[in-house]
Amino acid sequence: MTRRRWPNGQVTHDEMRPLKVLASRLPCSYSNPGRYVAGRPLVQGMRVALSAEVTRTHEELVERIVHAGMSYTDAVDPETSLVICNEAEPGHGKGYQAGELGVPLISDADFMRLLDGVVGGRNIEEFTDTTVAGEQFALF
């Protein structure tokens, strides 16, 4: 399969879409630990979204997110752990939505630096209570 590229060498949007769609549908083996806190390490299971305002390709960032054990999401919602965005106060898009919901923003350079120290997350099975409550299993 050949990749189509813009004259500046970046992969075209049409080529990135299949990767982003597949990555957003991949199940994550770790539970979401919540929002990112500045000064702390990234944790496996975090839900990470990308804004358009980044210097690296979305393809590279999505691959790094999934490889580190985090979950890529195509939408920003209250469950999103962080949004990668190089603008401090974006006026539109996912960066703006993150600001409205209180989701932290982090630059792609800071994100790449933090990937070296990703902390192990909790496996989803660790949150399952196997005691029977009636005829059903209780979660949490």
CA distance 102 to 41: 19
Per CATH, the homologous superfamily of domain 13-115 is: BRCT domain (3.40.50.10190)
Task: Give the domain ranges of the chain.
Answer: 13-115
Tens of pLDDT, residue by residue, the chain (140 residues): 355 666 676 665 555 567 788 888 888 888 899 999 988 999 999 999 999 889 998 889 999 999 999 999 999 999 999 999 998 888 888 989 998 999 999 999 999 999 999 988 776 544 444 444 455 555 55
CA distance 55 to 74: 18
Closest by Cα among 69, 72, 53 to 61: 72
pTM of the model: 0.73
